[in-house]
Chains A and B, each alone.
Chain A
Amino acid sequence: SQQGEEDPQALSIQEGENATMNCSYKTSINNLQWYRQNSGRGLVHLILIRSNEREKHSGRLRVTLDTSKKSSSLLITASRAADTASYFCATARRGAGSYQLTFGKGTKLSVIP
């Protein structure tokens, strides 16, 4: 069953503004990851936050995790036109020999120059 649900489904902002995307999930997790997908391309890993962490930063990215609310947010500061892409959250659960990722439907971000 689908685990992550992102909102909004689509977001359009001006270059330089901040973009915030949210993700909710249903079951317990080992970690939560955010991926970016440019149009017609594969997914690229952005950032991972473990279940015992509350906030993490990587460059212009800031991700938060609230395990009590089963939710996460991804903030992209000072957005650029090159940030235009779809962003997916994925919850990770440890399975036999690997971590199984369950993806949400994604947020389509458009950054207008």
Chain B
Amino acid sequence: DTAVSQTPKYLVTQMGNDKSIKCEQNLGHDTMYWYKQDSKKFLKIMFSYNNKELIINETVPNRFSPKSPDKAHLNLHINSLELGDSAVYFCASSQGSREETQYFGPGTRLLVL
């Protein structure tokens, strides 16, 4: 059973389009994250939700909007995609303040043409 899953695995789209990436975790965790990994493998936190509440919102263009319908899901919607948005997006989860380690999904490879 996959602990943290993301869909889709690959996403190729045109500049200007709007797209969503979905994430689900079945670990019973209360905190979920979105990270962006660029072409140089640098991994940077974008957002974090704890019990469906936004707690970390790094300097990310407001074209990116996370949504957490429940504790097990954290989706990422991106409006007006730009070339620079091409990257691998990772979802992760953890048990909030009680567990410091994070569990990562397999990643969504986004290519904007």
Which residue numbers of A lie inside 8 Å of B, CB to CB? 2, 30-31, 33, 35, 37, 40-45, 48, 86, 88, 92, 94-103, 105-106, 108
Contacts and interface: CB of A to CB of B under 8 A. Distances in A.
Interface string B72-113: 000000000000000000101010110011111111000000
Interface string B25-50: 00000010000000011111100101
B41 A97 contact: no
Contacts of B90: 42-43
Contacts of B56: 95, 98, 100
Majority SS at the chain A contact face: strand
Interface residues of B, number: 27
A2 B50 CA distance: 23
B21 interface: no
Nearest to A41: B106
Contact of A86 (B41, B92, B105): B41
A44 B92 CA distance: 10
B106 A98 contact: no
B55 interface: yes
A45 B45 contact: no
Nearest to A50: B100
Nearest to A97: B50
Contacts of B103: 45
